[in-house]
Structure 1
Amino acid sequence: MSTLKLPTRLRMDGARAEWAQMSPALRAEAAQVLAAAGREVRLSAAALTDFDSSALSLLLSAARQCSEQGVKLKLDDVPDKLRELARVYGVAELFWSAAA
């Protein structure tokens, strides 16, 4: 399966438009993953360098959508700043195990 990618910039002013593009892509990817007997949709955050807390909102929505379709969202190449932001907001455990 392929890996979906987050954009370089994800701030409040563009989050709604990004979700409008990402949601159908996630839905399609989840269908492909399930058809191949997989369990994870992979999303790379490697390019993400300019973001605010709206990035967490988008990721929570993505995780919820994947869960509703019966797959798990797996985040790859997550910037340390995003991990720290998730920790500060108390949602890190929703994305990563305590060992991560």
Structure 2
Amino acid sequence: MFDAGLSLTMADAPRALAEGLRALEAGETMFDLARVETLDSAAVALLLAWQRAARARGAVIEFHRLPPALCSLAGLYGVTELLTLISAAQQNQERH
């Protein structure tokens, strides 16, 4: 599972995008956002960019454990339905 790190902001976007693309190239399709503490609208753009890159490879990316602030931003921008979001509750159900 790819760890998105602590910060997904405009300043972090180039690094985060490159790291996520490398993970996708290596075959990783599960992205964990649990450690993200700092974010802005660039975080939503990153999720969409990673998802486009995955689809271009014929893969389906899953975003796990999004921080509430990121879920709110995705909802505010009307893109929640475009993303494959896996909540902590869903993960727990899948394990049982």
TM-score normalised by length of structure 1: 0.78
Alignment-derived partner of residue 73 in structure 2: 85
RMSD: 1.6
Q: Secondary structure at the match of 2:30?
A: strand
What percent identity do the matched residue pairs reach?
29
TM-score normalised by length of structure 2: 0.81
Aligned length in residues: 86
Q: Secondary structure at the match of 1:75?
A: strand
Structure 2: runs of 5 or more not aligned: 91-96
By relative contact order (CA 8 Å, sep 6+), the higher-ranking structure is 1
Structure 1: runs of 5 or more not aligned: 31-40
Q: Distance in 1 between matches of 2:3 and 2:72?
A: 20
Alignment-derived partner of residue 38 in structure 2: 50
Q: Deviation per CA, 1:12-48: give whole Å up to 9, x if none.
A: 0120122122212211125xxxxxxxxxx11001001
Q: Distance in 1 between matches of 2:79 and 2:9?
A: 18
